[in-house]
Chain A
Amino acid sequence: MSIRERLSGNEASAVAMRQINPDVVAAFPITPSTEIPQYFSTFVSNGSVDTEFVAVESEHSAMSACIGAEAAGGRAMTATSSNGLALMWEMIYIASSLRLPIVMPLVNRAISGPLNIHNDHSDAMGIRDSGWIMLFSETNQEAYDNLIMAHRIAEHKDVMLPLAVCQDGFITSHSIENIELIEDDKVKEFVGTYQPEHYLLNKKEPIAVGPMDLQAYLFEHKYQQAEAMRNAKKVILEVAKDFEKLTGRKYGLFEEYKTEDAEMIVVCMNSTAGTTKVVVDELREKGIKAGLLKIRVFRPFPVEEVAKALSHAKAIAILDKADSLNGAGGALFQDVTSAMYVNNIHVPAINYVYGIGGRDTTTKHIESVFDDLAEIVKTNTVTNPYRYLGLKKGGNQ
């Protein structure tokens, strides 16, 4: 029997880490993910894990230590947010290029500057091209479940890539929700032990990691990374199947909420999906064919699947909780519209940059998005595809 609990998103992540029982956790505090290493160091102090906790002096060292630990042959984890991830950025690329399946809860927060501690996805977007698998989580339950599945995906021999589990800072990280935990022994069995093929601590086969890699080889090594990322899609689905057998909870590359016959679909990630579901339900009661597509697997991006799932809609809105500041729209918008274009699907699409720096996004905002979509369906024209949601009038304050 699973265990019914009430936990915050951070606590749920820390509990998952306790159950995973990694060899090394190296972390540095940063709001709003600080609680994760706090809870975890309590587990270490009380002897409920076998982990070596390394209280590093920066996030750069956190990721460097994780790389050293994982290359040594251990399982390594850290947790961070915002500027912490930015400070790690150099090492983020090195972790993926060394094909080290490090797992990291990433509690999303606006990246400086100016300084802001609240949620948006600008931190996560900074690593979207870094070769990390990125899973997004609507609820505390999903943040927990994604972490339990993470090592099976990251460590698969066809993948061997690091993985970040995203959730919204404060909105889920600090909100207490009902949650179903899996028993410790079942998690242990599900996650399994890590058996790396080559590792530093294998005296019988010393290895060298992290070479100078010049014109003759780097291109092929990068190709192999790209191939691993493509392989990850299949592995993510296989692991989800096993997870469903264990828990009854079903996960895919994305969640389709009332999309089968939907004329208008909103695409978003993390907690905003919850707000959107409420609005979809309300609109459905009025006979309006509204739906939601919630991206779970952002990297690798499920190109064909997303395009197919949106192909029957009459208008779609893609919500980006980070502005790409490129004069052309957010990252998710570009991924979704590009996916549709290359699959020969044309549906009118608009982009909203929303919720920046923790600006609250309510059902009213989402309703206004569906109102705009209804207008597009009616007129079949998109006047301005690059819009803002919840911005004060004129954007001047």
Chain B
Amino acid sequence: MAYNVKEIVANKPSRFTEGHRMCAGCGAPPVTRMILRALKEEDHAVIANATGCMEVSSFIYPYTSWEDSYIHTAFECASATCAGAEAAYKAMKRQGKLPEDEHTKFIAFGGDGGTYDIGIQSLSGAMERGHDMTYVCYDNGAYMNTGIQRSSATPRFADTTTSPAGKVIPGKMQSRKDLTMIMASHHLPYVAQTIGVNNFKDLYEKAEKAIYTEGPTFLNVLSPCPRGWGYPTDMLTQINKLAIDTCYWPLYEVVEGKYKITYKPAKKLPIEEFLKPQKRFAHLFKPGNEWMIEEFQKEVDKRWQELLDLEEMSNKEA
């Protein structure tokens, strides 16, 4: 259905309920709730979850926050687990072992640790095999569940517990992996990058497209972490807004290979605006470290330009 926040929240009951133990100011629960709202009410879902904050906070025996069927197995294999359930669905449906008029959708959730790093093999395999499922990465840019260790999604220069900003090495020295592009290179029918609070329309519409596009689809959702990023818990909305207005986290989708940027800020803000409220970047603002902000800006500009070019190229008439 077309996005109307009042209608959706009023008419579509939450399928991710209160009582979970995620932190205040965490980006992941509202993201999850909104994605599940994109399901048609009459459809059942099987949700596979990688080990991570979301899993350990939402399904502590004997309590669960998930209204749909849910499975967690291990850290690196939410994709394969989900793929197995989807394969069983196909086989059982074919043999008439399940009611014909019921539909089940398959959604996997993982953090950046379970998706960019330890789970990328399982993800790549499941996507290549063409399972009818949606994989959602809620990217908070580090291994937050084990206490803020760097991941390949951690931005350059960020201070984490395994890339600490020290006297000799000023935080993480490597650039962030671009997982959304990697997934686009799998030539999937639908790939999108999106964000939660403050941009629910973007998230909802992309989730709906991902879930209801047949075949393997992928969503990468920026999901700020107040503990890991070091922002006040009431600042989630602003952090999200700054992430997209600085073009640090561009919102776009790739539909059958065609790129479409879904948000182009009227005024692209300097990256400092995004970095400043976050403790993980505090050392960037010390005298003598101006070069780090410059490098950061260059990287953001380069990636934004690449995306603009891809949009133009992929939409050219053949």
Interface residues of chain A, those whose CB is within 8 Å of chain B, are 23-24, 26, 50-52, 54-58, 60-62, 64-74, 76, 90-91, 94, 98, 200-203, 206-214, 216-217
Contacts and interface: CB of A to CB of B under 8 A. Distances in A.
Contacts of B209: none
Contacts of B69: 200-202, 206-209
Contacts of B80: 26, 56, 60-62, 64-65, 68
B179 interface: no
A212 B87 contact: no
Given A54-B129, A55-B129, A68-B73, A203 B88 contact: no
B230 to A, nearest CB: 26
A71 B55 CA distance: 17
B5 to A, nearest CB: 26
A24 B88 contact: yes
A74 B129 CA distance: 19
A56 B125 contact: yes
A52 to B, nearest CB: 4
A52 B81 CA distance: 14
A206 to B, nearest CB: 4
A58 B121 contact: yes
B104 A68 contact: no
Interface in B101-142: 102, 104, 121-122, 124-126, 128-129
B64 interface: yes
A201 B46 contact: yes
Given A74-B91, A208-B64, A211-B72, A68 B81 contact: yes
A58 B83 CA distance: 13
Contacts of A54: 83-84, 87, 129
Given A61-B80, A211-B64, 15 more contacts: A23-B97, A24-B88, A26-B87, A52-B90, A58-B125, A60-B77, A62-B80, A64-B81, A67-B71, A73-B88, A74-B92, A91-B74, A201-B104, A203-B102, A212-B59
A228 B84 CA distance: 25
Given A52-B90, A201-B46, A65 B71 contact: no
B88 A61 contact: no
B83 A206 contact: no
Given A206-B69, A212-B61, A68 B88 contact: yes
A343 to B, nearest CB: 38
A24 B97 CA distance: 14
B87 A24 contact: yes
Interface centre among A26, A50, A90, A211 (most CB of B within 10 A): A211
Contact of A52 (B73, B88, B102, B126): B88
B44 A90 contact: no
A91 B87 contact: no
Closest 10 CB pairs of A and B: A68-B84, A65-B84, A74-B88, A57-B125, A64-B80, A61-B80, A64-B77, A72-B88, A210-B72, A211-B61
Interface string B171-187: 00000000000000000
A203 B105 CA distance: 11
A76 B121 CA distance: 21
B82 interface: yes
B122 A61 contact: yes
B64 A201 contact: no
Contacts of B121: 57-58, 61
Contacts of B86: 68
Contacts of A216: 61
Contacts of A60: 76-77, 80, 122
A3 B99 CA distance: 37
Nearest to A49: B91
Interface centre among B60, B68, B74, B80 (most CB of A within 10 A): B80
A56 B84 CA distance: 10
B287 interface: no
B167 interface: no
Interface centre among B59, B84, B92 (most CB of A within 10 A): B84
Nearest to A60: B77
Contact of B104 (A26, A56, A64, A203): A203
Interface in B42-81: 44, 46, 48, 55-56, 59-62, 64, 66-74, 76-77, 79-81
A65 B85 CA distance: 7
B316 interface: no
Contacts of B84: 24, 26, 54, 64-70, 72, 76
Nearest to B103: A203
Contacts of A23: 87-88, 91-92, 95, 97
A24 B94 CA distance: 12
Given A52-B88, A64-B80, A201-B104, A208 B60 contact: no
Nearest to A50: B95
A65 B87 contact: yes
